[in-house]
Amino acid sequence: MPKATNADDPDAPDGVQIDLISGERMDGMATMEKIRMILDGVHDGNIVILEEGLTPDEESRLIEVTMSEISPDEFNGIEIETYPKSKANDSSLLGRIMGGDESAAKLTVIGPANQIETLHKDETLISALVSRD
Partner 1 sequence: MGLFTELKDSISRVTDRLFSEEEPKRIGIYGPPNAGKTTLANRIARDWTGDAVGAESHIPHETRRARRKEDVEIERNGKSVTIDIVDTPGVTTKVDYEEFTDEMEEDDAIRRSREATEGVAEAMHWLREDVDGVIYVLDSAEDPITQVNTMLIGIIESRDLPVLIFANKIDLDDSSVKRIEDAFPQHKTIPLSAKEGENMDEVYENIAEYFG
| 128 contacts partner 1 (rule: CB under 8 A) | no
- For residue 43, give Cα distances in angstroms to 7, 52, 103, 119, 124: 10, 21, 28, 22, 28
Query: Pick from 40, 59, 128, 130: which binds partner 1 (CB under 8 A)?
Result: 59
Q: Between 16 and 109, whose beta carbon lies closer to partner 1? A: 109
Instruction: Find the helix packing angle between 31-43 and 56-69, rounded to 10°.
Output: 40
| 33 contacts partner 1 (rule: CB under 8 A) | no
Binding part of the chain for partner 1, among 6-14, 20-28, 32-40, 89-97 by CB under 8 A, reads 89-97
Shortest approach of partner 1 to residue 109 CB, angstroms?
Answer: 10
| Whole-number Å distance between alpha carbons of 75 and 120 | 24
| 43 contacts partner 1 (rule: CB under 8 A) | no
Pick from 21, 37, 48: nearest CA to 112:
48
Q: Between 63 and 130, whose beta carbon lies closer to partner 1? A: 63
